[in-house]
């Protein structure tokens, strides 16, 4: 099934919340995990707190990703933007400042559309859009495991990143950072 990728903007906020909804089993996070200062207390946050933070980010102009549509309906989300805007991410992975690096920090596909190639098509389109915008380097931070549990894949499946030519840019003994030269 072919789909369509769109950058998130003010006109697509309802579509963002449709993807991040209880109906699609994703109504809690609202893609704010990297925006909170620390992981301390993360699991105790409520869906309402996370939505409130996401709405604040929107008011501040943080339209930080893409929505993928299938059959005209929003079915997937990819958070991507300038890496250094996410202080917790930079700190957690001990990354040196580099305002030129962009980060892929969340990948969410609605349950009914998983295992159908949506994530691949979406990321291929995201990469092409970033190239067209002059972005030169994109990092991703997948878990090391080969888990197929969606809760383990929120930063992107390692196999898919490998297939899309991302290469490890971190030491073998440290947290996994993968990078793609655009």
User: How many separate domains does the chain show?
Assistant: 1
Our CA dihedral for 53, 112, 72, 16, rounded to 10 degrees, sits at: 0
Partners of residue 139 on adjacent β-strands: 103, 179
C-alpha torsion sign, points 107, 110, 115, 117: negative
**Whole-angstrom distance, CA of residue 101 vs CA of residue 113:** 30
**Whole-angstrom distance, CA of residue 95 vs CA of residue 87:** 10
- pLDDT score recorded for residue 99: 94
CA distances from 95 to 88, 109, 179 (A): 10, 28, 13
φ, ψ for residue 47, nearest 5 deg: -60, -40
- pLDDT score recorded for residue 148: 59
Per-residue pLDDT of the chain (182 residues; tens, 9 = 90+): 568 999 999 999 999 999 988 665 677 889 999 999 999 999 899 999 999 999 999 999 999 999 999 999 999 999 999 999 999 999 999 999 999 999 999 988 888 888 888 989 999 999 999 999 999 999 999 876 665 555 555 677 788 899 999 999 888 888 889 999 99
Which residues contact residue 135 at a Cβ distance below 8 angstroms, ignoring those fewer than 6 apart? 102, 182
- pLDDT score recorded for residue 93: 92
- pLDDT score recorded for residue 143: 75
Where are the strands (E) in the chain, listed by range?
Answer: 3-7, 65-70, 73-82, 101-109, 137-140, 167-168, 178-181
Q: For residue 138, what is the domain's CATH number?
A: 3.40.630.30
Task: Supply the range of the domain harboring residue 29.
Answer: 3-181
The answer to whether 20 and 77 have CB atoms below 8 angstroms apart is yes
Residues in the chain: 182
């Amino acid at each position: 099934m072919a789909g369509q990728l769109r950058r998130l903007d003010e006109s697509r906020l309802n579509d963002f919340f449709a993807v991040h909804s209880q109906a699609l089993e994703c109504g809690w996070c609202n893609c704010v995990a990297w925006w909170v200062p620390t992981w301390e207390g993360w699991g105790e946050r409520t869906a309402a707190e996370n939505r409130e933070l996401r709405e604040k980010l929107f008011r501040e102009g943080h339209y930080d990703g893409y929505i993928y549509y299938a059959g005209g309906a929003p079915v997937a989300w990819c958070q991507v933007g300038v890496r250094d805007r996410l202080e917790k991410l930079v700190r957690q992975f001990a990354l040196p400042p580099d305002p030129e690096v962009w980060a892929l920090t969340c990948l969410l596909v609605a349950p009914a559309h998983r295992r159908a190639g949506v994530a691949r098509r979406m990321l291929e389109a995201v990469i092409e859009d970033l190239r067209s915008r002059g972005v030169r380097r994109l990092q991703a931070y997948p878990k090391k495991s080969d888990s197929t549990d969606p809760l383990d894949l929120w930063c992107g499946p390692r196999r898919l990143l490998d297939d899309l030519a991302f290469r490890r840019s971190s030491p073998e003994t440290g947290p996994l950072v993968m990078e793609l030269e655009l």
